[in-house]
Chain A
Amino acid sequence: MAAPIVATIIFVVMFILVITEKIEKHYVTLGCGLLTLIFVFGVCLRDFGAIWDTINLEAIVTPGFWHAASGESESGGIDWSTILFLAGMMVMVEGMARVGFFRWLCMRIAKLVRYKTVPIFFAFMCMSFVLAMFIDSITVILFLASITIELARLLKFKPVPMILAEIFCANLGGSATMCGDPPNIIIGTQLGYTFTDFITNTGVIAMISFVFVMGYFYLVMRKDLAGSASESDFAALPSPESAITDKPGFIINTIIFLAAVVLLVTHASTHLTVAFIGVAIAIVSLLTSGKHMLEILKKVDYKTLLFFTGLFVVVSGLEQTGVLEIIAKFIQDISGGNIYLMVGIIIWISAVASAFIDNIPFAATMVPVVKALAAASGMNIDVLAWSLAMGTDVGGSATPIGASANVVGTSAAAKAGHPIGWGTYCKKMVPATLIVLVITTIYICAVYL
Chain B
Amino acid sequence: MSEQMIIAIGREYGSGGHEIGKQLAERLGVSFYDRNMLDEIAEEMNVDVENLHKYDERPRLPIISRTVRGYSNSPEEIIAEFQFDYIRKKAESGESFVVVGRCAEHVLREYKGLIAVFILGDEAEKNKRIQTVRGVSESDAASIMKRHDKTRKYYHNRHCDTKWGDSRGYDITINSSKLGLEKTVNLLVDYIKIRTGQ
Contacts and interface: CB of A to CB of B under 8 A. Distances in A.
A410 B42 CA distance: 18
A57 B62 CA distance: 37
A401 B51 CA distance: 20
Interface stretch (A184-192, A249-257, A411-419): A411-419
Nearest to B72: A411
Interface stretch (B4-12, B73-81, B101-109, B171-179): B73-81
* Interface-central residue, B41, B72, B73, by most chain A CB under 10 Å: B73
Interface stretch (B21-29, B63-71, B161-169, B188-196): B63-71
Which size class do B's interface residues fall under?
20 to 34
Given A21-B67, A407-B67, A408-B69, A421 B62 contact: no
Interface string A407-442: 110111011111111100000000000000000000
A414 B69 contact: no
Contacts of A304: 69
Contacts of A401: 64-66, 73
Contacts of A20: 62-63
A397 interface: no
Task: Label chain A's interface by main secondary structure.
Answer: helix
A288 interface: no
B47 interface: yes
Interface in A375-412: 399-401, 404, 406-408, 410-412
A131 interface: no
A301 interface: yes
B78 A407 contact: no
B54 interface: yes
Which size class do A's interface residues fall under?
20 to 34
Interface string A345-371: 000000000000010000000000000
Contact of A408 (B42, B51, B64, B71): B71
Contacts of A415: 78
B67 A419 contact: no
A418 B71 contact: no
Contacts of A334: none
A411 B64 contact: no
Nearest to A412: B71
Contact of A421 (B41, B71, B75): B75
A347 to B, nearest CB: 23
Contacts of B41: 417
A419 B52 contact: yes
A283 interface: no
A162 interface: no
A153 interface: yes
Nearest to B67: A21
A138 interface: yes
B75 A420 contact: yes
Contacts of A419: 51-52, 54-55, 75, 78-79
A138 B69 contact: yes
B45 interface: yes
B139 interface: no
A19 interface: yes
A420 B54 CA distance: 11
Interface string B19-51: 000000000000000000000011001110001
Contact of B51 (A301, A399, A400, A417): A417
Nearest to A19: B63
Interface in A300-332: 301, 303-304
B63 A411 contact: no
A32 to B, nearest CB: 19
Nearest to A22: B62
* Interface-central residue, A20, A411, A422, by most chain B CB under 10 Å: A411
B172 to A, nearest CB: 32
Contacts of A21: 62, 65-67
Interface in A5-35: 19-21
A422 B64 contact: yes
A407 B73 contact: yes
A28 to B, nearest CB: 13
Contacts of B75: 414, 419-421
A417 B67 contact: no
Interface string A261-293: 000000000000000000000000000000000
A410 B68 contact: no
Contacts of A410: 73
Contacts of B47: 416-418
A423 B156 CA distance: 25
* Interface-central residue, B55, B62, B69, by most chain A CB under 10 Å: B69
A417 B66 contact: no
A313 to B, nearest CB: 22
Interface string A99-131: 000000000000000000000000000000000
B64 A414 contact: no
A242 B73 CA distance: 30
* Interface-central residue, A21, A153, A417, A421, by most chain B CB under 10 Å: A417
A410 B77 CA distance: 12
B62 A411 contact: no
Nearest to A403: B68
A400 B66 CA distance: 8
Of all A-B residue pairs in the complex, the 8 with the closest CB atoms, nearest first, are A419-B75, A417-B47, A417-B45, A411-B71, A401-B66, A414-B78, A407-B73, A407-B68
Interface of A: 19-21, 138, 153, 301, 303-304, 358, 399-401, 404, 406-408, 410-412, 414-422
Given A21-B66, A418-B51, A419-B78, 4 more contacts: A20-B63, A358-B66, A399-B64, A411-B68
12 contacts: A21-B67, A138-B68, A400-B73, A407-B66, A407-B67, A411-B73, A414-B75, A417-B52, A418-B51, A419-B52, A419-B78, A421-B75
